[in-house]
Structure 1
Amino acid sequence: MRKDLTLKKHIPRTKLATKDGLRSMLAQYGMVYVKPTRGSQGRGVMKMEKRKAKPKYSYQLGLKKSTFTTYTAAYRAIHKDMKGKRYLVQKGIRLLKHKSRPFDIRLMVQRAPQGGWEATGTVGRAAHPRKIVTNGSQGGTIYSTVHLLKKYAGPARRKRLLKQMDRLALRTAKLLRRTSPGIKELGLDFAIDGKLKPWILEVNTVPDPCPFSLLADQTMLRRIVRYGKAYGKTYSLKCKKAKRGK
């Protein structure tokens, strides 16, 4: 994906979370996310910041928040939480917020029954009040995309943004299908920054459409299920921890 010049502009810089790699990314961006190379549903994702004020370093994993005066101490703690697994460090994108809670947008793309790729739905996910990840399985709250974006953009600007996200998602799907021709669906997680630029945070090859079942309007869910059925996929649609936004 990073070789595609269009997509590259919308993918946060990422490198292996070695001691030196994490230090250099913190120095450059001030805030980063540290995430397992193999993970799902937001498990194991950490947020780390370098601040001008003391204590200079802070990081959060789940509900646990820690601060440190030196980078060595901070890395020692975060390395312990990695539990010997490979992690990546990603440039931190400061997400838009709803009721002081960061949110992102999940966008589904699927193979259409008539052939080709189609963007079949978007849903907004706001983080648990005391967590950094937006996943429903981590206590996130589900909202319609329009509900979350209307504070930041009028109808015309929202429409342009959503079309841009659709184009990026479809471009991603077509690119990945070249090397993985069996792919039938993807779930892309988009961060939207303060300038309303969309960033691709994650690309999920086994997306769970459960959050769509919590929307008042079930049109997108019905389409997702229908398209999935056409290529032999069924969904449980059981949201155990996600909440419906009010």
Structure 2
Amino acid sequence: MGKLGKYNFMKKYKMIRAFLPDTRKATLSNIRTMLRLYGSVYLKPDEGTGGHGIYKITRGKNNFILRTGSNALNFNSLNVLFASIQKILIRDKYIVQEGIVLLKHNNRPFDIRVMVQKNGEGILDVTGGIGRQAKRNKIVTNYHSGGTPLPIDTLLKSHLNDESRKQYIQIIEKLGKDASTVLGKSYRSKRAFGVDIAIDYKMNPWVLEINTQPDMSIFNTLKNKSMYKRILRYSKIKG
């Protein structure tokens, strides 16, 4: 399944439904409706990874702003904007996702990757969590698109005190495990899930995406290697 298939499957489950941002096929009608509802949306390739080919559309007072990478273009109408990228959207089967205003640290937005893996008994364990801070003026946080990997605790210091941070990280980890448990009902042979979680300005967490072939190398960028070693150890467990 691509992003839309995963979303449609997961939203059937009450335990995770409220944490899923609205996601639809990227048609002009859907984009217009969702801009009216949310003010901004992200356009993503249905099967893309690594933050490549992502667009953000924001509705202004009398214009629409299209951003990709660190570039921004202004359009007087959504029709003209859509026409400028329509071929790409059709070719790569894009989805449109509700725009979540990401929490920021040092004026740069970030999200979180939670690693969930099966242990020797086939039970899902949270084996790691890392923050990804967007490069200045970029709309994506992905490590391979210039994002900076940082400990989650560091990124949350701007917003929560010590005890609150510990509790909130536990909430994030549980959400990552719950999301993996739900998607794992469809991906029974998968032993690892990389859950991308956004936090909005009200401190609400959102499951943006779940990668069923998560890149583990990002965890090796942290000074403390214990998390990376645990992830590697789990990756060698045979199903």
Q: TM-score, normalised by structure 2?
A: 0.92
Structure 2 counterparts to residues 66-145 of structure 1, below 5 A: 66-82=73-89, 84-145=91-152
- RMSD across aligned positions (CA): 1.4
Give the aligned partner of residue 12 of structure 2. Answer: 3
**What stretches of structure 1 of length at least 5 have no aligned partner?**
233-246
The C-alpha deviation readout for 1:21-79, integer Å capped at 9, x for no partner, is 11100111101111111100011111100012x4x100111232111111111111232
2:66 pairs with 59, 67, 74, which one? 59
Deviation for aligned residue 1:114: 4.4
Matched with 2:53 is: 44
Contact kept? 2:179, 2:195, Cα under 8 Å: no
- Give how far 1:102 is off: 1.0
Q: Distance in 2 between matches of 1:71 and 1:171?
A: 37
SS at match of 2:16: helix
- Figure out how many residues of one structure are paired with residues of the other and give that number: 230
Q: Is the partner of 2:149 in helix, strand or coil? A: strand
Q: Secondary structure at the match of 1:59?
A: strand
For the 8 Å contact 1:120–1:224, the answer to whether it is kept is: yes
Give the match's secondary structure for 2:184: helix
Residue 224 (structure 1) aligned with residue 223 (structure 2)? no
76-85 vs 176-185, which deviates more? 76-85
% of aligned pairs identical? 37
Q: Deviations over 1:136-165 (max 9, x none)?
A: 111111111100011111122222222222
User: Who is 1:31 aligned against?
Assistant: 40
What residue in structure 2 maps to residue 20 of structure 1? 29
SS in 1 for 2:83: helix
Structure 1 residue 196: Cα displacement:
1.0
Determine whether 1:206 maps to 2:202.
Answer: no
Q: Any unmatched runs of 5+ in structure 2?
A: 1-9
Partner of 1:197 in structure 2? Answer: 204
CA contact (8 A) 1:161 1:196 kept: no
Between 1:159-168 and 1:188-197, the stretch displaced more is 159-168
Deviation at 1:210, TM superposition (A): 1.2
Distance 1:165 1:198 in 2: 7
